[in-house]
Amino acid sequence: MTLRLMKILAILTSIGAYIVVLMGAIVTKTGAGQGCGTSWPICKGQLIPAYMSVDSVLEYSHRISSGIDGFLILFLTVWSWWVFRHNGRVKLLGFMSLFFVVVQGALGAVTVMYEGTFAEEWILSLHFGFALISFASVILLTIYLFQMKAGKAVEQREERKPGLVSKSMQYVVWGITAYCYIVVYTGALVRHSSSTMGCGTQWPGCSTLVPDLASHPGVQMFHRYAATLIGVLIVGLLIWVLRSYRERRDLVRGAWLALIMVILQGAAGMLTVVTGGQLVVELLHTTLIAILFAVLSFLCMQVGWPWKTQQPVEQVQMASSRG
What confidence score (pLDDT) does residue 118 get?
Answer: 47
Distance CA 33, CA 210 (A): 31
pLDDT band at 25; cut points 50, 70, 90: confident
What confidence score (pLDDT) does residue 149 get?
Answer: 63
What confidence score (pLDDT) does residue 9 get?
Answer: 95
Measure the CA angle with vertex 241, ends 181 and 136; round to 5°. Answer: 30
Considering the candidates 59, 120, 121, 282, report the single residue annotated as catalytic. 59
What confidence score (pLDDT) does residue 236 get?
Answer: 97
pLDDT band at 306; cut points 50, 70, 90: confident
Q: Are 143 and 295 in contact (CB under 8 A)?
A: no
- Is 159 tagged catalytic? no
Residue 201 has pLDDT above 70, yes or no: yes
Distance CA 139, CA 21 (A): 13
Task: State the chain's mean pLDDT as an integer.
Answer: 83
pLDDT: which is higher, 86 or 12: 12
pLDDT band at 317; cut points 50, 70, 90: very low
Beta strands (DSSP E) in 40-169 are 148-149, 152-153
pLDDT: which is higher, 127 or 254: 254
User: What whole-number percentage of the chain has pLDDT above 70?
Assistant: 87
What is the phi/psi pair of residue 46, to 5°? -135, 150
pLDDT band at 235; cut points 50, 70, 90: very high
Q: What is the mean predicted confidence (pLDDT) over 83-105? A: 91
| Max avg pLDDT among 22-26, 107-111, 126-130, 286-290 | 286-290
> pTM (2 decimals)?
0.84
Q: Are 101 and 73 in contact (CB under 8 A)?
A: yes
Residue 224 has pLDDT above 70, yes or no: yes
What confidence score (pLDDT) does residue 120 get?
Answer: 59
Chain segment 102-158, per-residue pLDDT in tens: 998 888 777 776 655 445 566 777 788 888 999 999 999 999 998 876 445 443 433
Closest CA to 141 of 66, 91, 196: 91
Where residue 40 falls (left for φ over 0; alpha for ψ -120 to 50; beta otherwise) is: beta
Q: What is the mean predicted confidence (pLDDT) over 218-229? A: 91
What confidence score (pLDDT) does residue 163 get?
Answer: 59
Distance CA 285, CA 21 (A): 12
Q: Are 43 and 52 in contact (CB under 8 A)?
A: yes
Closest CA to 308 of 191, 174, 186: 174
What confidence score (pLDDT) does residue 159 get?
Answer: 38
pLDDT: which is higher, 116 or 305: 305
What is the residue extent of each domain of the chain? Answer: 1-148, 165-308
Residue 2 has pLDDT above 70, yes or no: yes
Question: What sign results for the dihedral spanned by CA atoms 129, 132, 136, 141?
Answer: positive
What confidence score (pLDDT) does residue 307 get?
Answer: 76
- For residue 46, the cross-strand partners are 43
